[in-house]
A and B are shown apart, each in its own frame.
Chain A
Amino acid sequence: MEKKLLSEHYHKKEYHTLAGYKSFGGYKDLESAFSKRPEEIVQMVKDSGLRGRGGAGFPTGVKWGFLPDNSEPRYLLCNADEGEPGTFKDRLIMEKAPHQLIEGMLISAWGIQSHKSYIYIRGEYQNCIHVMEEAIKEAYSAGYLGKNICGSDFQHDMDIYIGAGAYICGEETGMISSLEGKKGQPKLKPPFPAVKGYLEKPTIVNNVETLAAVVPIIRDGVEAFRSIGTEKSPGTKFFSVSGCVKKPGNYEVPLGYPLMDLIELAGGLREGRKLKAVIPGGTSAPVLTAEECEKADMDFESLSDLGSMLGSGAVIVMDDSCSMVDMLSVIENFYHHESCGQCTPCREGTGWLSKVINNILKGQGRIQDLNLIQGISENMMGRTICALSDAAALPAISFVTKFREEFETHIRETLAQRKSGALSA
């Protein structure tokens, strides 16, 4: 059994209450963190090599280092807008161990010397919001939030902000805009949020899992953290396995775990089915064919060598009962619906991609549409304010290149059916 850094006690019933959390050693690391200086905390996180668990995989310590010196006030924002399709790990952390998150945020706040933080939870997670509100209330009454935390003169306030159904508010500057009360549209970078973020002040935005992972770093030390996982991607990660497996769910394994083993851990494929494709990191990641899956290890480097990315760690398993055309159309319809509409390539490109693929699905596609999809996607990438455009383009390119025969067969068959009159035009 692999060592679990975060979810060791998640199955305990009372773990989400303050008393339950404390009985399993909770909030001790907070006190030990207060005994260290803030710079030490930042250095520890930097040395540990913790990488962002929300999707981009940016080294957290380096991000914290971007804060300009002697700037006041600083904000810490926790990104709990888990919008990436296929991802449901942050929900687990917030429902089962809200205090773990609060402790992680407090340690991080002490490290970056922030006195105010917000947790931006997506509006659909009603249960999470309820649980987090209760947990914060408990923390305030126990003296872990508010003035003079744990007897020190550190003051910190934490608030929950509820989202309203926009995937784009999971992008860091989109979240900041939404928090400021404006339309949740991403802002131009530069200036980066670490320099000019929420209310034009230095802001750090981190994912729920990243902030929760700060707790084991302080608890066990840097070497212990680095001993798990790989050289460049240390630590454990939650993988939300879904799709055609017997036991879909969240699985915390060290980074570098082979993908096929992860699928086995999740119960394996259903009887009589063969693996066709796996999306390893949420729908924004390029798809892996069955051969590539044999070689894949779940860490940042191995997947990017194979042309995909780890992303948020949502593993969607597809066997040979799935139609790739259908899958792609679901993905592109999602991005079309969620594009904020600010910059032209994404706004028009997602709509165009969605229409072309829906046409192919309906049976009105042409062979040159496949080249068109590639052209559109290549020219949407890298030319926009935020990465939603890349997220919409990458799966389109990967599906159409890796499963081209399936697309072509579908187009030819439906064309034949139309000609023979079986399909209505």
Chain B
Amino acid sequence: MSKKIIKCEINNQEVEVPEGTSIIEAFKELDQSIAHYCWHPGLSVAGVCRLCMVDIEGIPKLQIACNTEVKEGMKISNQSEKVKEAVKWGLEFHLINHPLDCPICDQAGECELQEQYMNFGQYSPNMAERKVKKRKVVDLGSKIVLDTERCILCSRCVRFTDEVSKTHELGIFNRGDRSEIGIFKDKPLENEYAVNTVDICPVGALTSKDFRFRQRVWYLKTADSICTGCSTGCNIKIDYNEEGLFRVQPRYNKEVNGYWMCDKGREVYRLPNKEGRLLEAKAPSSYSFKREDSLRPSRAGGNPVSSVEVLKKIRELFVKKEKAPQSALVLTAQYTVEEYEDLVSFFIKHLGTQQDIYYWRNNPESFDDFDGVLLRGDKNPNTKGLLEVLTNQGAIHSWESLQNRLKQKEIEVLWVAGPENQKVYPDLKEKIDTFESYCDNIIWWTAHPLSDSQKIWQIPTKTFFEKEGTLINHTGRAQKVKAVHQLVSSALSLSESATVLKGEELKKQEPPFLVTPMKTNHFTYKKKVL
């Protein structure tokens, strides 16, 4: 039964909303700004901050927008002097016991109190009395730190643990201005969605131990992307700068993840960062390659080996032969659909047949696990995409047949598109040992280095942050990741590798490099380089 549509006027702008919408939701429809702290579209209404005051024609007292339903013909305004005065005093009440913590608080720059202060505040505070002192730096578990003095008791975190994660770990203790957020005895805040409370906290009361003090938010840019932690494919936004990625936060998507994401997915920010990455292509020790001559001095000291050169050598050794060696291709479901299409079509054309392509699954028994909220058992972002490409080409073979062929030493060259997220592949070491013992030439595409080996050629790949492509989640929904910033200059995506192996020239890469503001003076060190 569809709801009746009601017309109302907000700040002299007409809007039509379904029946039952609250005024603040109508404000959001029109993208008009209204000050609020305790309301969140993904949580129930609390009405405790008293900042979302609006002036409704015909009602002498100011009403709160989050709990008042829109009625036909309502004329609503939050620009009158009465409302501004009310919001100014509401903000003043929030600030009278708030500590002067902006220099050490992580939320500086994205703090709701700072936002509303710049909109409404008065610069000389009226409060000349002593502030209420409460506990600071309270450990709430392994992921979150609480500062009860900064808390404005909007109760968003308490409502989150009650309604979304349903674990009821947080509560408000004491009453009056001695109230504090806290955990119960022997029950720390340890659920799978705990770090969402840090996102929804409007002030710096809840901070994530992972991100704490690492960077100021105004030094970070934001980019939209898709989480590659599991097959749910939550929409995320990543905060990064040219030093690397710092933090992941969820983006709203009604069909996929709502307003939230799980904590495991927040770890994906570490995957593209330079600290763990394979910085240059590695060849077995009998080959040596010239280092790339480039004008950009690299911080690590020395320029990386060109992956294109290494791939050209591989092409010489294993592809361009008259009699192609017996090859097999092993794929993990962690790359984009376009990469699979390019690589598989290259393989079938030049190196083998559909029979030689294998799909490496890491934990098939728990693929269909679902915890009821967002976490799924399939830890690969693109299983459906890979299966689609393989079925199109007509190639899915059981792992046993690969094992058998390996044991009988039928395979001479093994091409592996290894997992980007190595942590969810617990059998990685075991598989490497198996492959090495039965095959002499292994070419492995990987974003993070494998243990040193005599026989493996390692090619650095671009992570989801550096390439453009499509990922298909568990419902079959195709979502795109975009190339934002390339952190490892010698990384190549599978499509680009396939192009080089085919013998074609790689198009000049124009990755969106961020310009590095020079913080060290190179003139004094390298007199030769300008």
Residue B249 is within 8 A (CB to CB) of chain A in the complex: no
CB-CB contacts below 8 Å: A335-371 with B: 336-345, 347-352, 355-356, 359
| Size bracket, chain A contacts | 20 to 34
Contact B48 A385 (CB under 8 A): yes
* A199 CB to nearest B CB, Å: 17
A residues near B46, Cβ cutoff 8 Å: 188
Residue B278 is within 8 A (CB to CB) of chain A in the complex: no
Instruction: State how many residues of chain B have any CB contact under 8 Å with chain A.
Output: 33
The A interface is mostly helix, strand or loop, or mixed, namely helix
A residues near B176, Cβ cutoff 8 Å: 336-341, 347, 350-351
CB-CB contacts below 8 Å: A113-140 with B: none
Say yes or no: A375-B126 contact (C-beta < 8 A), given A190-B67, A343-B49, A345-B50: yes
Contact B50 A344 (CB under 8 A): yes
* B161 CB to nearest A CB, Å: 15
B residues near A168, Cβ cutoff 8 Å: 175
* A341 CB to nearest B CB, Å: 4
In the bound complex, how far is the Cα of B404 from the Cα of A240, in angstroms?
A: 96
Smallest CB-CB separation from B174: which chain A residue?
A: A341
Residue of A188, A190, A372 near B126 (CB, 8 A) is A372
Residue A379 is within 8 A (CB to CB) of chain B in the complex: yes
Contact A340 B175 (CB under 8 A): yes
CB-CB contacts below 8 Å: B421-460 with A: none
In the bound complex, how far is the Cα of B45 from the Cα of A347, in angstroms?
A: 19
Smallest CB-CB separation from B53: which chain A residue?
A: A383
In the bound complex, how far is the Cα of B48 from the Cα of A338, in angstroms?
A: 17
In the bound complex, how far is the Cα of B403 from the Cα of A331, in angstroms?
A: 83
CB-CB contacts below 8 Å: A278-335 with B: none
A residues near B61, Cβ cutoff 8 Å: 382
Say yes or no: A343-B48 contact (C-beta < 8 A), given A183-B172, A337-B176, A338-B176: yes
Contact B153 A359 (CB under 8 A): no
Say yes or no: A344-B129 contact (C-beta < 8 A), given A337-B176, A339-B176, A351-B176: no
Contact A348 B174 (CB under 8 A): no
Residue A230 is within 8 A (CB to CB) of chain B in the complex: no
Residue of B67, B174, B177 near A188 (CB, 8 A) is B67
* A40 CB to nearest B CB, Å: 35
Identify 30 residue pairs between A and B in the complex whose beta-carbon atoms are under 8 Å apart, listed by A's number. Answer: A188-B46, A339-B175, A341-B153, A341-B172, A343-B50, A344-B48, A344-B50, A344-B94, A344-B153, A345-B50, A345-B89, A345-B93, A347-B93, A347-B179, A348-B93, A348-B94, A350-B176, A351-B96, A351-B132, A351-B176, A351-B177, A352-B93, A352-B96, A355-B130, A359-B129, A375-B89, A376-B126, A379-B89, A384-B50, A385-B48
Contact B175 A348 (CB under 8 A): no
Residue of B45, B67, B93, B127 near A344 (CB, 8 A) is B93
Residue of B47, B90, B179 near A341 (CB, 8 A) is B179
Say yes or no: A349-B153 contact (C-beta < 8 A), given A341-B175, A341-B179, A356-B129: no
Contact with A along B316-340 (1 / 0, CB 8 A): 0000000000000000000000000
* A192 CB to nearest B CB, Å: 13
Contacts A190-B67, A351-B96 known; 18 new A-B pairs at CB < 8 A:
A168-B175, A188-B46, A337-B176, A338-B175, A341-B172, A341-B176, A341-B179, A344-B50, A345-B50, A345-B93, A347-B93, A347-B176, A347-B177, A349-B93, A350-B176, A351-B132, A351-B176, A379-B85
Residue B178 is within 8 A (CB to CB) of chain A in the complex: yes
In the bound complex, how far is the Cα of B174 from the Cα of A166, in angstroms?
A: 12
B residues near A355, Cβ cutoff 8 Å: 129-130
B residues near A166, Cβ cutoff 8 Å: 175
In the bound complex, how far is the Cα of B126 from the Cα of A289, in angstroms?
A: 30
In the bound complex, how far is the Cα of B92 from the Cα of A376, in angstroms?
A: 10
CB-CB contacts below 8 Å: B34-49 with A: 45-49
In the bound complex, how far is the Cα of B46 from the Cα of A382, in angstroms?
A: 17
* A193 CB to nearest B CB, Å: 15
A residues near B90, Cβ cutoff 8 Å: 344-345, 383
In the bound complex, how far is the Cα of B127 from the Cα of A355, in angstroms?
A: 10
In the bound complex, how far is the Cα of B2 from the Cα of A67, in angstroms?
A: 28
A residues near B96, Cβ cutoff 8 Å: 348, 351-352
In the bound complex, how far is the Cα of B47 from the Cα of A350, in angstroms?
A: 19
* A245 CB to nearest B CB, Å: 33
* B225 CB to nearest A CB, Å: 37
Residue of A188, A349, A356 near B45 (CB, 8 A) is A188
Residue B86 is within 8 A (CB to CB) of chain A in the complex: yes
Residue B152 is within 8 A (CB to CB) of chain A in the complex: yes
* B231 CB to nearest A CB, Å: 38
A residues near B129, Cβ cutoff 8 Å: 352, 355-356, 359
A residues near B175, Cβ cutoff 8 Å: 166, 168, 338-341
Contact B86 A188 (CB under 8 A): no
Residue B207 is within 8 A (CB to CB) of chain A in the complex: no
Residue B223 is within 8 A (CB to CB) of chain A in the complex: no
A residues near B97, Cβ cutoff 8 Å: 348, 351
Contact with A along B4-22 (1 / 0, CB 8 A): 0000000000000000000
Contact B48 A379 (CB under 8 A): no
The 8 closest A-B pairs by CB, nearest first: A341-B179, A379-B89, A355-B129, A351-B177, A348-B93, A339-B176, A343-B48, A188-B47
